[in-house]
Structure 1
Amino acid sequence: MKLKMMYPYLNADIALIEKELARTVQAEDSVIEEASLHLLKAGGKRIRPVFVLLAGKFGDYQIDTVKYVAIALELIHMASLVHDDVIDDADKRRGQDTIKSRWDNRIAMYTGDYIFARALEMITKIEDAEAHQILSHTIVEVGLGEIEQIRDKYDLDQSLRTYLRRIKRKTALLIASSCQLGAIATGAPSSVHKRLFWFGYYVGMSFQITDDILDFTATAEQLGKPAGSDLLQGNITLPVLYAIQDQAFREKVENLFVSTNPEKDITSIIDEIKGSDAIERSVDLSNRYLTKAFHVLEELPPNKAKTALHKIAKFIGKRKF
């Protein structure tokens, strides 16, 4: 089942948000606007806006209010992608040229900053102090995650705890905030929006672990970028952490980092990771986070949104791209 089939009653609202995203990134500078629209048109699952809307269904749902949260969270995510591509020197994302590849690093950084500023402008439409505090904390944590990713590049001595903290900051908290802020924007009770935060957090951890698994198990066509890109860029993800417990494999990864032809060497490393127990162990940890998410979901009142959240969480755990 495709992701969009799990919440067909949101189609009109999602289409509205898509139009609003395009309108929001319009700029006086034609290059910044063109670059922003280039990223937007590359697509994406729009997971964060979907979580915002579904969480909003636990309160007094009004699309003209909750849309501002959905737009803001997606824009923050988009801005972080632009900055990531500069940090990682990435040429492709979702099968399209990155902004830094089509233009340059300077334009990419300005574009990311502009998109981020527009996100902050959107969230001011929500007059709730708690919502602003939550979003501010999330933005700080995302920034720390960016710094940690730079710091931890090529570091094969980092711990599992370091990795989990990094993906919490880089991915999970933004998804958790999407769930919580969607509920807050529609006046859902505190007991509900706090549970939605934890649901989103656990799903977000599973989502990123699955992404890191797919970097080795999916095809370049499915990924929209070469397989093994994360490792080539020096990002040590969960399957690698598990696999380098074997000393011989660790030495191969060390050699990859100093290789004059890493694109060629990565093929055998991918094959070894797929042939080891690293993928299975990574899937197991992802599933443990999903199990926690399902337990939290059971504590929420029943409605169509709860059913959709359950289906989406299952999809995230089983997806192949």
Structure 2
Amino acid sequence: MTVAGNHTLRNPTREPDLRAALAAVEDALVEATRSDMPFMAEAARHLARPGGRRLRPLLVLLAARFGDPDAPGVVPAAVVVELTHLATHYHDDVRHETNASVAVLIGDFLFARASRLLAGLGPRAVRLQADAFTCLVTGQILETTGPRDGHDPVAHHLRTLAARSGALTAASGRLGALTSGAPEEIADALAVYGERLGVARHLAAELRSPVHGAPTLPVLLSGDPTAPALAEARHEVHRQCAEARKALTPLPTGPARTALTELCEAVAQEI
């Protein structure tokens, strides 16, 4: 299952019912992005592409395993987090001055469709997604402005990633629990897990494919991606993964918890 660009994590589970749920999410994503306007076709093509980035819907579906996975709000919740994720990527194009006008419109279109689905999930889901979006915007601001004078750039970078990369994965776990009727303590644990996993995955991506000119943990650690700095950055990925696994402690054992653990192991091993 591809969850980060062309980088593939091993399939966390082979359960037929989970595969069926992911297929239902794919169908719902295509339906949610239908539009008669030509420039919206790009968004639909991106969403329908086989092997797309589907970590966040997967987290929703796995979280729902701790409640009723067939509850009517579970698949829409998975679609909401993926639409939000894709919308932030289109808005990132504006910051990078690439097809800015189209990117704004497509991103807004995706946010609008996500909001429409959210309205059917109830006020708690709406507030949860609003909080996650606030964190995403905060993370973008932190990344754009950089650390203030005298502040630790590494701590600033990790705080930025917690907002930009961790907020939506945290919301994915919590939404899956909420829409399935899982207990509140399960939702809390899944939110912590999701945030730590999101940060670990982003740090791992920095190590695999650093973006020229962008702040990355190895560069921030030493001013240059030296061997000691790379080792320290890898250690931080493993630390974040360990924190994610620790968050799973309150969850009952079973295939869903095993799958969540395997996602952590896959991130830790593939750097």
TM-score normalised by length of structure 2: 0.89
Give 2:68's aligned residue: 60
Instruction: Say if 2:26 and 2:48, in contact at 8 Å, map to a contact too.
Output: no
Report the Cα offset of residue 117 of structure 1.
1.0
Residue in structure 2 matching 1:240, options 195, 214, 219: 219
Give 2:14's aligned residue: 8
Matched, 1:203 2:197: yes
Residue in structure 2 matching 1:297, options 248, 251, 257: 248
Report the Cα offset of residue 51 of structure 1.
0.2
RMSD of aligned Cα (Å): 2.2
Give 1:150's aligned residue: 144
Instruction: Say if 2:10 and 2:266, in contact at 8 Å, map to a contact too.
Output: no
Question: Structure 2: how far apart are the matches of 1:132 and 1:107?
Answer: 26
Matched, 1:160 2:154: yes
Q: Counterpart of 1:187 in structure 2: which amino acid?
A: G
Report the Cα offset of residue 41 of structure 1.
4.2
Give 1:134's aligned residue: 128
Report the Cα offset of residue 236 of structure 1.
0.8
Figure out how many residues of one structure are paired with residues of the other and give that number.
261
Residue in structure 2 matching 1:116, options 102, 108, 111: 111
Question: Structure 2: how far apart are the matches of 1:162 and 1:36?
Answer: 32
Kindly report structure 1 stretches of 4+ aligned residues shifted beyond 3 Å.
1-4
Q: How does 1:88-107 map to 2 (within 5 A)?
A: 88-89=96-97, 100=98, 104-107=99-102
Instruction: Say if 2:186 and 2:251, in contact at 8 Å, map to a contact too.
Output: yes
Report the Cα offset of residue 3 of structure 1.
3.6
* Per-residue deviation, residues 163-215 of structure 1 (Å, max 9, x unmatched): 11111111101101101110010111111111111111111111111111112
Matched, 1:38 2:45: yes
* Per-residue deviation, residues 253-311 of structure 1 (Å, max 9, x unmatched): xxxxxxxxxxxxxxxxxxxx2x4211110110111111111112122111210111001
Unaligned runs of 5+ in 1: 90-99, 216-227, 250-272
Indicate the structure (1 or 2) with the bigger Cα radius of gyration.
1
C-alpha distance 287-14 of structure 1, shift in aligned 2 (>3 A): same
Question: Structure 1: how far apart are the matches of 2:239 and 2:20?
Answer: 34
Q: Counterpart of 1:120 in structure 2: which amino acid?
A: S
Question: Structure 2: how far apart are the matches of 1:47 and 1:291?
Answer: 19
Instruction: Say if 1:13 and 1:63, in contact at 8 Å, map to a contact too.
Output: no
Instruction: Say if 1:82 and 1:109, in contact at 8 Å, map to a contact too.
Output: yes
Give 2:89's aligned residue: 81
Structure 2 counterpart SS, 1:5? coil
Q: Counterpart of 2:137 in structure 1: which amino acid?
A: G
Instruction: Say if 2:71 and 2:180, in contact at 8 Å, map to a contact too.
Output: no
Report the Cα offset of residue 4 of structure 1.
5.6
Unaligned runs of 5+ in 2: 2-7
Residue in structure 2 matching 1:310, options 251, 258, 261: 261
Q: Counterpart of 2:174 in structure 1: which amino acid?
A: Q
C-alpha distance 63-316 of structure 1, shift in aligned 2 (>3 A): farther
Q: Counterpart of 1:308 in structure 2: which amino acid?
A: A
Structure 2 counterpart SS, 1:60? coil
Report the Cα offset of residue 113 of structure 1.
0.8
Residue in structure 2 matching 1:214, options 172, 186, 208: 208
Structure 1 counterpart SS, 2:66? coil
* Per-residue deviation, residues 208-244 of structure 1 (Å, max 9, x unmatched): 11111112xxxxxxxxxxxx4x233xx2111110121
Structure 2 counterpart SS, 1:236? coil
* Per-residue deviation, residues 82-126 of structure 1 (Å, max 9, x unmatched): 11123124xxxxxxxxxx4xxx32111100110111111111221
Instruction: Say if 1:71 and 1:119, in contact at 8 Å, map to a contact too.
Output: yes
